[in-house]
Amino acid sequence: MIAAFDFLKNFVFVLYYIFFPKYENCSNPLDHSEIFEIIIQFVFSYLILKVHFYKLQHFSLYLNIIIFIIILAIDLVDILKFEIFEGFTYIFFPFQLIFYCLKAVYGKKVILYGYISIYILIIMKGAFKLIFVIVISLIVLIIDKKIFIIFSEYFSNIKYILLIIAKIIINFFNELSLWITIDRFSPNHTPIIIIGEEFCYFVEDLIDKDSLFRHMRGHKYIRIILYLVSLIGVLLHNEIIVTNI
């Protein structure tokens, strides 16, 4: 199941390029999708892992729902009025995030009740995911061979091959860090990493004026404030910050 969710998380983008081949995948920093991911991570942990919610956890969940609605409204204005990016790209994002969170939650369940180490989990997940990829690749090969001709270009240059190897190594440590966090703490701690990544994009914007924020005008500062509030909510949810109020 974990391998299936991880495969579907990536396959969502394959479907995107099938339906909209002329458009690039549009991912904007500090948009509503990251807050949506935080919300469904909390909800899945509550439903699947039976994590008990106290008053602080309920407060954090409702706080992030309010932030999600505000940022979603800003995104809709950008899409409908200013046409900053294509709105149909957001049709695929929720499914990718849902599969990602399900992978993390069921991974924690396997670690807790299956008594399996994260290294064995990564190896088994990779093995099953490889089977899914081979099956789908064979189907695609029958339908359209041109895709594999384009794919072969990545192995035509030693520079591309080295970059692929480097990406494999980086992805491994990224995956390992995720599972160590889930193992030592919980899936509900991963939103801290998510928000931290968004703050890195904001710092990039301060340095590079041609960054991903170039279309966001003044409301990018509203977004960063809302993300700061969301971070406080996540810290409260995980009882990193504890208050009697």
For residue 154, the number of C-alpha atoms closer than 13 Å in the C-beta half-sphere is: 9
103-143 per-position pLDDT tens digit: 999 999 999 988 889 999 999 999 999 999 999 888 877 77
Average pLDDT along the chain: 85
Q: What is the largest CA-CA distance in the chain?
A: 63
Please check whether residue 227 lies inside any domain of the structure.
Answer: yes
Q: Cβ of 245: how many Cβ atoms within 10 Å? A: 5
Higher pLDDT, 154 or 37: 37
* Residue 29 forms part of a structural domain: yes
CA 177 to chain centre: 14
Structure confidence at residue 5 as a pLDDT band (50, 70, 90): very high
Domain carrying residue 138 = 2-237
Given a contact cutoff of 8 angstroms between Cβ atoms, the answer to whether 228 and 221 are in contact is no
Q: Are 85 and 215 in contact (CB under 8 A)?
A: yes
Residue 244 resides in a domain: no
Decide if 114 is inside a domain: yes
Tokens of 52: 């008990």
In tens, the pLDDT along 176-201 reads 999 999 999 999 999 998 898 888 87
Q: Is residue 243 part of a domain?
A: no
pLDDT score of 82: 59
Total domains in the chain come to: 1
Residues in CB range of 11: below 8 A, 6 or more apart: 136
Rounded CA gap, 226 and 212, in Å? 18
